[in-house]
Structure 1
Amino acid sequence: MAVQRKSNLVDSGNPNSMRRPETDRRLLEVAATSFVVLFCVVGMALLDASAVEGLAKGQRPA
């Protein structure tokens, strides 16, 4: 009769294994970086739209 211990739950072959803290930190860094990049892209698009809107009719942005 084999006894399974709780340490087997962290086995990489176990689909129900808990993630290691390094993996969680990497996922957090990826999510934070993605958010910052998206925030910058949206900000630049809004700034460009407001600059074009502020021009008089017939003028083109430089």
Structure 2
Amino acid sequence: DTVTDITGVSCPVKVLTPWALKNAKQVTDADSYDITVTLKGKESTTTYTGADALFENESYAYY
């Protein structure tokens, strides 16, 4: 099988041309997401900040 959709995959790359990031969203240490789950009646919240928050952004976001 051939994989054609890699949405959600984070890969480190070196960008040599700044214009390549023109339409991408920059994620900084100021960006964060809270994810709350409830398991057996107990609520737990985890906060993802900076590079860890990349997975909650659109494709081609960068840190």
Q: Which has the higher helix share?
A: 1
Q: Which structure would you say has the larger Rg?
A: 1
Q: Which has the higher strand share?
A: 2
TM-score range, shorter chain: under 0.3
